[in-house]
Chains A and B, each alone.
Chain A
Amino acid sequence: MLALLFGLCLVLGDSGELERAERAWRAGRYGEAFAAYERALSDPELPRGALLYNLGNCAYRRGRRAEALLYYRRARLHMPDDGELLFNLRLVLNELGLESGEGWRDPISPAPLLLLVTLLQSAGLLGLLLPGLRRRARRLLLLCLPLGLLGAARLVQTRCLPSPLEAVVLAERIVLRPEPHRDLAPVLELEAGQLLRVAEASDRWLRVLHPLGSGWTEARTVGLIER
C-alpha cells in the first residue's frame, strides 16, 4: 500500500512538474518553465527529445539563442525528423547568421526509405537468382540492386553509425588557442552558435575542430551536444 502511494506520488509529482512548466510558459515566466523542464529531465520515463525541445523554446524566449540552439541540437539526437524542431532550429540558425542547410529533412522520411530500400534490394536479388527471366526484365531488376545498396548505405550512415561528439559555442565570442593555456595567443575567434567537433577533452579544456581551424577552448564556453 505504501509502495503504491509512493508510486502515485512520483507519477503525480512528475505530471505536476510538467503542468507547472506549461503554466509558467503560458504566463510568460520562461525562467520558471525552464527550471521545471530541467528537473523533468531526470525522469527516464519522459520523452527526452520533447523535453529538450521545450528547454530550447524556453531559452529562446529568454533571449539566449545559442543556448536554444544547443537544446534543439540535443533534441535532434532523439527526434531527428520532427518538423517543429527542424523549423525552430532553422529559425535560430537564421537569426544567428549561420548556415541553415542542416535544418532540412531528407526528402524521404526513414520508415518509407527503409521500405523502399528493402523492396529495391529484394527486386535486385530476385533478378539475380530467378531462372527463366527475360533479359530485359533481368536487367531492370538488377538495376534496382545498386540503388537499394545506396539507400541502405545512407540509412546505415544516418541511423546506425555513432555520430562524433559535437558542441555549440555558448559564449558570445570564444577564442581557440594552440594549447590549453590562457596566455597563448588565439588562433581563431568564433561567435555564438557555431558548431564544433570535439576531438579531445580534459577537465577544463576541450580541443575542438571547426572548418576554419582547430584549437583548445575552455569547456565552460561551449555546450556539448549529448543525449
Chain B
Amino acid sequence: MKVLALLFCLQASEVALQHAFVELEAERDRYYVHQVIRLSLRFGVEEDFLRTRMVQLFRRHLDVPVRIDGLEKLPGAERLADLGRSPGDRRRRMSFVLDKELAWAVLLDEKRIQSGRSMLVLELTLRYLPTRAGPLRIVGLRMQFAHATRFRQDFLEGRVPLDRRESALLAESLELDIEPLPEEGRPREFSGAVGRFKLRAEAEPRKLELGRSLELTLRIAGQGELRHFDPPRLDGLPGFHVYGRIEDAGRTERRITYSIAPLSEAVREVPGLVFSFFDPDAGYRSAHTEAIPLEVLPGRPLPLPVTRDEPREEAGFDIKGIKRIPGAAAARPAMSRALVLPVLLAPWLLACGLWLGLRHSSRRKDNMREPPARDAAVVFRARLERPGADLAGALAEFLAARLECRPAAVVAPELPARLEARGVTAELAEQCHRLLDAMIAERYGAEAAAADRRAVRELAEALETCFQGRESGC
C-alpha cells in the first residue's frame, strides 16, 4: 500500500500540528475507468487534548469533534455508497463530521506518537468510481476543530469554553492516474464491469408445459462495483422467448431474474450464459455458466405477436402475453371474502361447542357420585320403609350425602357446625347431633335413644328443607 498524501500545513496553527493529524491513502496510484478506488481517510487527535481541551463544534455531541471537508465531490469520479459494517466487525466507531454530514470512523487499536504525544487513530474507508480517464486530483482536504484552555462550569450547558479558538489542517493534494480500458482484446459482449467476478445461474421450474414461463436467475458476485455495468443480454437466446428482467443489487451480489419461455417441446436445456468483465490485474476475462437441463411437456404454444406497431425500446424487455378468455389458462379467481370470515370463525365456534360439551360432561360426572346429594332424601325415605331398617345408619348416610363426606365422618363433634354451614338452624343442628350420638351409642349398649322411625323421618325432612332452602338461595 503506497502512502501518497503527506501532512502539509498551510494555515495550521502550532496547536493543530502538535495535537492532530490527517492523511489520505490509496491502495495504488493507477486505476482504470470504473475500477473502484478505495481511499483510506485516516485522522487523529491527542488523547489528553481530546479529553481536556477540545470543544464541540455543533450542538450535537460528536465523539471526536472535528470537521473534515473536501471529499464530497471529486471531479471525474462518483462517490459510492458505504458498504456498511461487515458481519463480525466489532471495532468501536466514533462520530465526527465529514462534508457536513455525520460520519463514523473506526477507532484503530494502534496509537501514533507524534511530537512525543500519544494520538488516537481513526480510519474511514471511502469508495469512488472514476467515470473518465485522466488524472484524478483530490485537493483542499481540510480538518477543522475548536479548542480552549480555560473553561467555566455552567449549570445548564456544562463545560463552557472561555477562550475558544479554531484550528485547521490542510492536506496536500492527492493525484491518481485513471486509465481507459484497453481496446485490444475487448470481447463483443463486454458488460462494462471492472473487477473480479463469479457467475452462477439457476432456473425454476425445470419441468414445465409449453406455453408457461420459467425464471432464470443470474447471480453476479465479486470484487468490483456491482451496479455500474449492463447485465448480460439474452437477445436471441436460442429456443426461448425473453419477456424481461427484474434486478436486485445487494451488498455483495447482483441478482438478475429473467422471465423466459421455451418456444417448443424440443427445447432440452437453458443455454449457458457468458459474462465478460475486465480484471485490472489480468485483462479481459469471461465467466460462464453451465447449461441447465430442462423438460418441456406438451402444452399450448405462446400467443406471440407476429409484427408490432411500434419498435420495442430495448431488446430483452417484454411483458407476459395476453390471457386467452375463456380458457384453461385464465387466472384463478381471487379468494372470495365471503369464504374467509366463516373459515376463520369456524375454530372458535367449534371451541365454544367443545367447551360446552366438556362442561356438561363434568357436571354429569359430579352428579353420578353415590348417592347424589339431591337424591339423598329419596334414598333415606326408601331405607326407612324397609322393615328392620338401621335408623342410625340411614340418618348417617343421609347426612353424609348432604355434607359430601363419608358416613363415618358425620359422627363427630363438628357435626352441628357443619350443618349450620349448610343452612341448618343451630337448634336443629344440635338436635340432630344429639339424636345421632344417642342412636350410635345405643349400638354399643348405651341407653336406648328416644327415637323412632317417625321422629327420625321428621328430623330428616326438617334438615332437607333447610338444605334445599340454602341451595335455592332463600
Q: Given that A87-B243, A88-B320, A110-B335 are contacting pairs, would A121 and B347 also be in contact in the complex, using a CB cutoff of 8 Å?
A: yes
Q: Which residues of A contact B325 (CB under 8 A)?
A: 18, 40, 46-47, 50-51, 54
Question: In whole angstroms, how far apart are the Cα atoms of A51 and B324 in the complex?
Answer: 9
Question: In whole angstroms, how far apart are the Cα atoms of A117 and B346 in the complex?
Answer: 11
Q: Does B331 contact A (CB under 8 A)?
A: yes
Question: In whole angstroms, how far apart are the Cα atoms of A28 and B320 in the complex?
Answer: 15
Q: Which residue of A lies closest to B243 (CB)?
A: A87
Question: In whole angstroms, how far apart are the Cα atoms of A87 and B321 in the complex?
Answer: 11
Contact string against A for B residues 335-348, beta-carbon threshold 8 Å, 1 for contact and 0 otherwise: 10101110110111
Q: Does B328 contact A (CB under 8 A)?
A: no
Do A28 and B335 have beta carbons less than 8 Å apart?
no
B467 to chain A, nearest CB (A): 30
A60 to chain B, nearest CB (A): 5
A195 to chain B, nearest CB (A): 19
Question: In whole angstroms, how far apart are the Cα atoms of A216 and B401 in the complex?
Answer: 83
Q: Which residue of B lies closest to A77 (CB)?
A: B334
Q: Given that A79-B332, A87-B320, A88-B320 are contacting pairs, would A125 and B306 also be in contact in the complex, using a CB cutoff of 8 Å?
A: no
- Total interface residues on A, using CB and 8 Å? 56
Q: Does A91 contact B (CB under 8 A)?
A: yes
Q: Which residues of A contact B330 (CB under 8 A)?
A: 47, 50
Question: In whole angstroms, how far apart are the Cα atoms of A129 and B309 in the complex?
Answer: 67
Q: Given that A28-B308, A129-B358 are contacting pairs, would A85 and B347 also be in contact in the complex, using a CB cutoff of 8 Å?
A: no
B81 to chain A, nearest CB (A): 18
Contact string against A for B residues 294-316, beta-carbon threshold 8 Å, 1 for contact and 0 otherwise: 00000000011111111000000
B366 to chain A, nearest CB (A): 14
16-51 of chain A: CB within 8 A of chain B:
18, 22, 25-31, 33, 40, 46-47, 49-51
Do B344 and A118 have beta carbons less than 8 Å apart?
yes
Q: Given that A47-B326, A129-B354 are contacting pairs, would A62 and B309 also be in contact in the complex, using a CB cutoff of 8 Å?
A: yes
Q: Does B323 contact A (CB under 8 A)?
A: yes
Question: In whole angstroms, how far apart are the Cα atoms of A156 and B183 in the complex?
Answer: 60
Q: Given that A51-B325, A54-B322, A91-B244 are contacting pairs, would A159 and B337 also be in contact in the complex, using a CB cutoff of 8 Å?
A: yes
Q: Does B319 contact A (CB under 8 A)?
A: yes
Do B317 and A155 have beta carbons less than 8 Å apart?
no
Do A88 and B319 have beta carbons less than 8 Å apart?
yes
Question: In whole angstroms, how far apart are the Cα atoms of A128 and B350 in the complex?
Answer: 13
Partner of A129, one of B331, B343, B355: B355
Q: Does B292 contact A (CB under 8 A)?
A: no
Q: Which residues of B contact A82 (CB under 8 A)?
A: 331-332
Q: Does B7 contact A (CB under 8 A)?
A: no
A29 to chain B, nearest CB (A): 7
405-429 of chain B: CB within 8 A of chain A:
none
Contact string against B for A residues 114-144, beta-carbon threshold 8 Å, 1 for contact and 0 otherwise: 1001100110011011010000000000000
Q: Which residues of B contact A121 (CB under 8 A)?
A: 344, 347-348
Question: In whole angstroms, how far apart are the Cα atoms of A54 and B344 in the complex?
Answer: 34
206-262 of chain B: CB within 8 A of chain A:
213, 243-244, 246, 259
Q: Which residues of B contact A197 (CB under 8 A)?
A: none
Q: Does A81 contact B (CB under 8 A)?
A: yes
A201 to chain B, nearest CB (A): 25
Which of A46, A85, A95, A159 is packed against the most chain B CB atoms within 10 Å? A159
Q: Does B88 contact A (CB under 8 A)?
A: no
Q: Which residue of B lies closest to A115 (CB)?
A: B343
Q: Which residues of B contact A30 (CB under 8 A)?
A: 308-309
Q: Does A111 contact B (CB under 8 A)?
A: yes
Question: In whole angstroms, how far apart are the Cα atoms of A14 and B309 in the complex?
Answer: 26
Q: Does B80 contact A (CB under 8 A)?
A: no
Question: In whole angstroms, how far apart are the Cα atoms of A103 and B437 in the complex?
Answer: 88
B299 to chain A, nearest CB (A): 15
81-124 of chain A: CB within 8 A of chain B:
81-82, 84-85, 87-88, 90-92, 94-95, 100, 110-111, 114, 117-118, 121-122
Q: Which residues of A contact B323 (CB under 8 A)?
A: 50, 53-54, 84
Q: Does B333 contact A (CB under 8 A)?
A: yes
Do B309 and A29 have beta carbons less than 8 Å apart?
yes
Q: Which residues of B contact A122 (CB under 8 A)?
A: 347, 350-351
A22 to chain B, nearest CB (A): 7
Do A160 and B334 have beta carbons less than 8 Å apart?
no
Partner of B348, one of A51, A57, A92, A125: A125
Q: Which residue of A lies closest to B308 (CB)?
A: A28
Do A125 and B347 have beta carbons less than 8 Å apart?
yes
Do A94 and B246 have beta carbons less than 8 Å apart?
yes
Q: Which residues of A contact B350 (CB under 8 A)?
A: 122, 125
Contact string against B for A residues 49-81, beta-carbon threshold 8 Å, 1 for contact and 0 otherwise: 111011001001111000000000000001111
Q: Which residues of A contact B308 (CB under 8 A)?
A: 28, 30, 61
Partner of A114, one of B310, B332, B340: B340
Question: In whole angstroms, how far apart are the Cα atoms of A94 and B317 in the complex?
Answer: 11
Q: Does A152 contact B (CB under 8 A)?
A: yes
Q: Which residues of A contact B317 (CB under 8 A)?
A: 91, 95
Q: Which residues of B contact A160 (CB under 8 A)?
A: 337, 340-341
A145 to chain B, nearest CB (A): 10
Partner of B303, one of A26, A49, A81, A125: A26
A–B Cβ pairs within 8 angstroms, 28 of them = A27-B306, A47-B330, A51-B325, A53-B322, A57-B320, A61-B309, A61-B310, A62-B310, A78-B333, A78-B334, A81-B334, A87-B259, A88-B319, A100-B246, A110-B334, A114-B343, A117-B344, A118-B344, A118-B346, A118-B347, A121-B348, A125-B347, A125-B351, A126-B351, A129-B351, A148-B347, A156-B344, A160-B340
14 new A-B contacts, CB < 8 A, other than A50-B330, A53-B331, A100-B246, are A22-B303, A47-B331, A57-B320, A84-B320, A84-B321, A87-B246, A88-B319, A91-B317, A118-B344, A118-B347, A121-B344, A121-B348, A129-B351, A159-B337
State the 6 A-B residue pairs at the shortest beta-carbon distance, nearest first: A125-B351, A28-B307, A84-B320, A79-B331, A50-B323, A121-B347
